[in-house]
A and B are shown apart, each in its own frame.
Chain A
Amino acid sequence: MTDSRDPRKTLGEALVEAAEKNKKIVAISADSSSGSGLTPFHKRFPERHIEFGIMEQGVMGFSAGLATTGKIPFVVAIAPFVTARPFEMFRNDLGYMRQNVKVVGRCAGITYSDLGATHQSLDDIAIIRTIPGVTVLNPGDPVDIVKAVHASAAHVGPVYIKLGSPKMPVLMDENYPFQIGKGAVMEKGNDITIIGTGTLLSKAAEATRILKEKGINARLINLHTIKPLDRELVLKAAAETGKIVTVEEGYLAGGMGSCIAEFLATEHPVPMKMIGIDDLFCDTGPYEELLAMYGLQGEQIADTVEKFLG
């Protein structure tokens, strides 16, 4: 049976662990701190958890101000409300002011499947990656989440971490070397490369397994860091496999696939297929059914890859 873990609980526990080691870390919430996984942090460090209520523009500025005094704020809230809503605060107060603030957008993608387009976050990667100097992480499993928290705490500068909501299967080895800006090859193969990220990494892995059974050996890459892009790994995959498929729970416009296409179009053009959400506000319903509606289940991804290979 696959080991699956709650991403928010995982985040909260990792944050406590990081805060034990680094006294500068403070947690910032904009209401619903328990939903953000911060209950253990609040219990362990009540004086280092600052609640702001439903004030997502304000928390960006306050966090920037705290960071100027040496604190390392981790702001955790529902993804669209810490990306799209306070975008200018993110850009100016964190990006332009180069402040050491970590923003965690949880329940991103369409993982808030029942709550509809106001609460789904499909544009976060596209908009936040335009901000100079901001690191963008999209952990692909619970192991990645823990490592992303520790790596972010150690990294000096603004970071955005995109998280989902449903339990995520463990895909990565607990001891694998996670490094910001370096993707991880999960399956070797030279027929095609599948690059997955975040909540859909497990679906990309499933697709890779299905393809293998059919005799197609796909290289599978976990691209947990979208910015800075691991150019070396992407270039190598393009050169060695000749075709690239990207899989993400976000808009194709400006997303992870778009990042890779921007890079390869000038450096080493290869045929690409980008899988994600294309220019629409998603509907509501049970998460897995919704993913299927948009062709994002493992079998569907495998099917798309097969057709792409021709």
Chain B
Amino acid sequence: MQKLNHQDQIALEKIAVQNRKNVLRLMKASRMGHIGGALSAIDIITALYFKIMRVDPQNPVWPQRDRFVLSAGHKCLALYATLAEKGFFSHEILDTYGALCSKLGGHPDMYKVPGVETNTGALGHGLSIAGGMAMGHKMDGLDAKVYVVMGDGELAEGSNWEAAAAASHHKLDNLLVFVDRNHLQISGPTVDVMSYEPLDKRWQAFGWSVREIDGHDMKQIVENATDIPFEKDKPSVIIADTVKSKGLSFAENKVDYHYWKATDEDLKIAEQELNKIEEGIS
């Protein structure tokens, strides 16, 4: 396990705020987007790109790179924000979100956006694709790892459980899944819409090694994600408890902000809130 020192933790937290600001920049461009899930997953995605994964923004298709699969493709605002901050493309491109034929669509496109590995959006696809990547790396003797972010509502898709079974059957211990458990989906609380609990036992039953963390705590994210495989020959899953729309107090834990149509005033308030968070980091 790689210990995260205080200095690095602060640095990551600051980048996460900057990435949230990048999300607001995207929102300013189009005035609409899947903000709730983006902001619940953004600390995890920030930690992955800035502390955990081996990637080279100058060479996005470097064969030895670690891979990131955003299975819940609608959280792409967080991915675009992070990729821009990491240097995969310029920040100016964020201003094109929502424009005709923009590189940045409402779901990610691997042929338009440097650093995007998969065309996700339809839920329940990412884990099996990531499993194939992990399998390919093993066949080639590469030590590259594959990281996935899934939504908790997404887990109702049966295809995920096909993939979960195959990943453990084929001993893909170079695969780490984060379940961004923000507890909400469009229609309401996830457990009311289609209950998946007890989630830890469900993954365990499928042969995975499971840990549960606070998905907004950089120390917990980094120290656990750098400790894979949690058990030899088993794929790892981190069930990360998160808050939908984390960072925007008026939107936190509110279903209405799954997809947000923002006004100028909303965005102004949001920016002020993020500035306050930034000032508070020490």
- A residues sitting closer than 8 Å to B (CB atoms) are 26, 47, 50, 52-53, 55, 57-71, 88-89, 92-93, 96-98
Main secondary structure of the interface of A (DSSP, over half): helix
Interface residue B218 (Cβ < 8 Å from any Cβ of A): no
Q: Is there a chain A Cβ closer than 8 Å to B186's Cβ?
A: no
Of the 9-residue stretches B9-17, B49-57, B122-130, B254-262, which lies at the interface with chain A?
B122-130
A55 touches B165 (CB 8 A): yes
Given known A-B contacts A55-B162, A58-B162, A97-B110, A65 and B119 have beta carbons under 8 A apart: no
Which residues on B sit within 8 Å (CB–CB) of A89?
Answer: 125, 128, 159
A66 to B122, CA, bound (A): 19
A52-B166, A96-B119 known; A66-B132 Cβ under 8 A: yes
Whether B212 is near chain A, meaning CB under 8 Å from some CB there, is no
Q: Does B163 contact A (CB under 8 A)?
A: yes
A109 to B202, CA, bound (A): 39
B118–A97 touching, CB < 8 Å? yes
Q: Is the CB–CB distance between B125 and A58 below 8 Å? A: no
A-B pairs with beta carbons under 8 A, tally: 93
How far, in whole Å, are A88 and B135 apart by their CA atoms in the complex? 22
Give CA–CA (A55, B67) in the complex, Å. Answer: 24
Residues of B within 8 A of A62 (CB): 128-129, 131-132, 135, 163, 166
Chain B hits for A97, CB < 8 A? 110, 118-119, 129
Judging by beta carbons under 8 Å apart, are A68 and B133 in contact?
yes
Known A65-B128, A65-B129, A97-B118; judge A57-B159 contact (CB<8 A): yes
Cβ–Cβ contact A57 & B132, under 8 A: no
Beyond A62-B163, A70-B140, 9 additional contacts (C-beta under 8 Å) are A61-B126, A62-B132, A64-B128, A66-B132, A66-B136, A68-B118, A89-B125, A96-B119, A98-B111
Q: Which A residues are in CB contact (< 8 Å) with B158?
A: 57
Is B214's beta carbon under 8 Å from chain A?
A: no
Partner of B159, one of A26, A47, A58: A58
Residue of B nearest to A64 (CB): B129
Q: Report yes or no: A57 in contact with B119, Cβ–Cβ below 8 A.
A: no
A167, chain B: closest CB distance, angstroms: 34
A265 smallest CB distance to B (angstroms): 31
- The answer to whether A88 and B122 touch (CB under 8 A), given A58-B159, A61-B128, A64-B132, is yes
Q: Which residues of B contact A (CB under 8 A)?
A: 63, 67, 110-111, 117-119, 121-122, 125-137, 139-140, 158-159, 162-163, 165-166, 169-170
Chain A residues closer than 8 Å to B165, beta-carbon distance: 53, 55, 58
Main secondary structure of the interface of B (DSSP, over half): helix
Residue of B126, B132, B133 with most chain A CB atoms under a 10 A cut-off: B132
List B contacts of A96 (CB < 8 A): 119
Query: Which of B110, B127, B163: most chain A Cβ within 10 A?
Result: B163
* Distance to closest chain B CB from A58 (angstroms): 4
30 example contacts (A-B, Cβ-Cβ < 8 A) are as follows A50-B135, A53-B165, A57-B158, A57-B162, A58-B128, A58-B159, A58-B163, A58-B166, A59-B128, A60-B128, A61-B131, A61-B132, A61-B163, A62-B128, A62-B132, A64-B129, A64-B132, A66-B132, A66-B133, A68-B67, A69-B137, A69-B139, A71-B139, A92-B119, A92-B121, A92-B122, A93-B125, A97-B110, A97-B119, A97-B129
What distance in Å separates the Cβ of A62 from its nearest Cβ neighbour in chain B? 4
What is the bound-complex CA distance between A25 and B233, given in angstroms?
25
* Complex A-B, nearest 7 residue pairs according to Cβ-Cβ distance, in ascending order: A65-B132, A61-B128, A69-B136, A58-B162, A62-B132, A65-B133, A66-B132
A216-B91 Cα distance, complex, nearest whole Å: 70
Question: Smallest Cβ distance from A102 to chain B, in angstroms?
Answer: 14
Q: Which residues of A contact B129 (CB under 8 A)?
A: 61-62, 64-65, 68, 93, 97
Contact among B111, B118, B121, B133 with A69 in the assembled complex (CB-CB below 8 Å): B133
